[in-house]
Amino acid sequence: MNVSFPVYIMAFFSFVGWFFFLLFGGLGLFAIPIDWINDFRYRPKKKSRKELEDTKLELQKKNQELLELAKSLKSIIENNEIPSQHD
C-alpha cells in the first residue's frame, strides 16, 4: 500500500497516542479508588465544643485587630498624616 508521508506520520502518531492513552488511562483507573480511600481517611473531623470556642475567640481577636488597622488607615487617608506606632 502506497501512502503519502503526511498520512504515514498521522498514522504513527495515532498509534503512539493510543498507546499512551491505554497506559495512562489504566493508571488513572487504578488511582481513582486509591484517591477516594485517602480522601475518606483524611477527611475533616468534627471539632469539639472547646476547639470551636477557641477558634471563635481567635477569629474575634484577629477581627478586632483588622478593624483597628482599618480605622488607622482611614485616618491616615483622611488627614494625610502618619500616626505613631504603638505595639
Q: Encode pLDDT of 6-60 as tens digits.
A: 999 999 999 999 999 999 998 888 899 999 999 999 999 999 999 999 999 999 9
For range 57-70, the mean pLDDT: 97
pLDDT value at position 34? 94
The domain limits of the chain are 1-43, 47-87
The three three-digit cell numbers of residue 6, written as one number: 503526511
The three three-digit cell numbers of residue 34, written as one number: 486509591
First and final CA of the chain: distance in angstroms?
85
CA distances from 86 to 4, 77, 83 (A): 80, 19, 9
Task: Record the pTM.
Answer: 0.44
The three three-digit cell numbers of residue 44, written as one number: 475533616
